[in-house]
Structure 1
Amino acid sequence: MKAVVLYEYGDPSQLRYEDAEQPPVGDNEVLVRMHATSVNPVDYKIRSGAAKGRIPVELPAVLGRDLSGEVVQAGRSVVGFAKGMRVMGLANGTYAEFTTAKADVLAPIPEALSFEQAAALPLVTLTGAQLIERAVKPQPGQTVLVTGALGGVGRSAVHVARKHGCRVLAGVRSAEKAEAAVLGADQVIALDDETETVHLHDLDAVADTVGGPTASRLLKALRAGGVFGSVLGEPQGAKDVDVQVHAFMAQPDASRLYELADEVARGEFTIPIGKTMRLSEIEEAHRLAEAHKVKGKIILVM
């Protein structure tokens, strides 16, 4: 089979598209013929070495988290995964023509979604949902600000917070305000415009997907005892204010993924696809993603 192998940390040229051994199938695993995967920021942060302190990998490694494909073989202890079944999941080593995953991380792909559409969903939708449901844990009626609301994680967080009955503020850049109207948030806030952010105060929670100085500034917009949920770790200055910080990393959750994918299939929210490329074009895909040259997910097809 063909796979993308990382031998050393560095720029995209370190990603080698080459022949590799097909992985063996464990008793509780499923062998999947990959049809599509996607590029996520964590992929190029791992590749560059920027994330090695937080997410160590043993090199050489096959990167990739989004799985979308069909079942080839199920392990001896696995039931319910027939050959040819279309599956999706948050897994590892998905930059390959074949990969294995624990059966309990795999969900059926809703009939209305293509392999490519499904490949855009696992990491960002589960991260956005868990940011709200496991980190922020808001009560109905509370006000939640979601930063980076037009990104895949942000869109998912806005959607899930609305489903939980929250008053949702979508935080974006000034140039994105018109586009953000499609998110259905109660209000859109330009986080790079001080004339708008100065009015933010007594928020119940911030669901942060951007980090950096923006995250630090927003700490003061929370009410005393408010919650700051983050996918990027504790923001600078958090210890100086009376807030709860809940930083986390997304975990596989097959049943929740299916629910979210079904809501995408029904048009309740969208994760836009910006560009579709071949897996063999992985170097260019990482360059485009890292430079933020594509608006929407970059999908890799096998």
Structure 2
Amino acid sequence: MPTWKLFRAVRSTARANPSSSPARRCLRSISTTCRAVVLTRFGGPEVLELRHGVGVPDLRPREVLVRARAVSVNPLDLRMRSGYGRSIFEPLLPLIIGRDVSGEVVAVGASVQSLAVGQEVFGALHPTAVRGTYAEYAVLSEDELVKKPASLTHADIELAIKGHFDAVLDTIGKPETERIGINLLKRGGYYMTLQGEAGSLADRYGLAFGLPTATAILLKKQIQYRYSHGIEYSWTFMRADSEGLEEISRLLEAGKLTIPVEKTFPLANAREAHEAKEKKLVPGKVVLEVD
């Protein structure tokens, strides 16, 4: 994504919402504040701070307010807490991190048509979203959410995989996971990682030099793997869309996708959850449950 578009997306997300939202006026019973885990500076798990009285934004026309029940502790969250994307996000501190959520719709914007108050949903934010999901209330756009299958609880771990595959999505981005992922693919397959080096190189060298360097590294790897393994290689941002989420929902309901839970923590114990992931005390996915 070009630098100017990335900054435009961040600035757009960061803008305050109008206080005269129809959804807010119609749902006065919803608290205007909530508990949230806030990142005030970059560093270890100790920088995560549980705050009370954090403002709940009013909704834009296509936005949905979700009462969170569970959010994942993802590798991206740990990297952002440690300073990944510092060149973009540091001016916007303090931040609420977190990118996915499962919960209940408590308010909808004036233009929302596919979701209604009271429905249970799950979804994920765009990577440039400033207000994340480590909070009692999360704000997502309509196309970032789908209805949750009734057969599942709100809490979600990665599926164990074996064999040879047409595509691999690497959410961790370590050299070891890249090696494993590349070797799982058939010739003609696709490897994608959500942990590309654009953000870290921009942090290290600045946007002017970091992004071109990242582009050169990506091009080199694309050529390398195309000739050595016959596969396509790419970095990508995680982006939720309703079509993809609906497909996940169908697979879950059909029993073709199993998501065993490894470990859950209350929202107030976000530091302990990050420590557990960082020290590899919990090998699987970690979830924050919101009471």
Q: TM tier, shorter chain?
A: 0.5 to 0.7
Counterparts in 2 of 1:13 and 1:276: CA distance versus 1, 3 Å: same
C-alpha distance after superposition, 1:73-110 (max 9, x if no partner): 11111123221111111125110011211111110001
Taking a change above 3 Å as real, the CA distance of residues 90 and 224 of structure 1, as seen in their structure-2 partners, is closer
Cα-Cα RMSD: 3.2
Counterpart residue number, 1:300 = 288
User: Deviation of residue 216 (structure 1)?
Assistant: 6.4
Distance 1:223 1:97 in 2: 43
Equivalent residue number for residue 168 of structure 1: none
Percent identity over paired residues: 34
1:63-212 to structure 2, matched below 5 A, reads 63-91=97-125, 93-116=132-155, 120=156, 152=158, 155=159, 183=161, 185-186=162-163, 208=170, 210-212=173-175
Name the aligned partner's letter for residue 241 of structure 1. Q
For 1:275, give the aligned amino acid: K
Q: Report the TM-score, using the length of structure 1 for normalisation.
A: 0.64
SS at match of 1:4: strand
- Find the counterpart in structure 1 of residue 236 from structure 2: 248
Are 2:75 and 1:41 aligned? yes
Gaps of 5+ in 1: 121-150, 156-179, 188-202
**Structure 1 CA distance, aligned partners of 2:184 and 2:243?**
34
**What is the one-letter code of the residue matched to 2:137?**
F
- Any stretches of 5+ residues in structure 2 without a counterpart? 1-33, 197-216, 227-231
| Equivalent AA in structure 1 for residue 99 of structure 2 | R
1:8 aligned onto 2:47: no
Residue 238 (1) aligns with residue 226 (2): no
Structure 1 residue 283 corresponds to structure 2 residue 271? yes
Letter in 2 for 1:270: T
Structure 1 residue 269, shift from structure 2 partner: 2.4
Contact 1:38/1:66 (<8 A) preserved: yes
Q: Which moved more, 1:228-237 or 1:288-297?
A: 228-237
Cα 1:226–1:289 change in 2 (3 A) is closer
Q: What are the Cα deviations for residues 141-176 of structure 1, in whole angstroms up to 9, with x where unaligned?
A: xxxxxxxxxx72xx3xxxxxxxxxxxxxxxxxxxxx
Contact kept in structure 1, 2:76 and 2:195, CA below 8 Å: no
How many Å separate the matches in 1 of 2:45 and 2:180? 33
Q: Quick one: distance in 2 between partners of 1:218 and 1:71?
A: 36
Aligned pair count reads 225
Q: Which moved more, 1:71-80 or 1:283-292?
A: 71-80
Match of 1:58 among 92, 112, 115: 92
1:53 to partner: Cα distance: 5.3
Partner amino acid for 1:70?
E
Judge which range, 248-257 or 34-43, deviates more. Answer: 248-257
For normalisation by structure 2, the TM-score amounts to 0.66
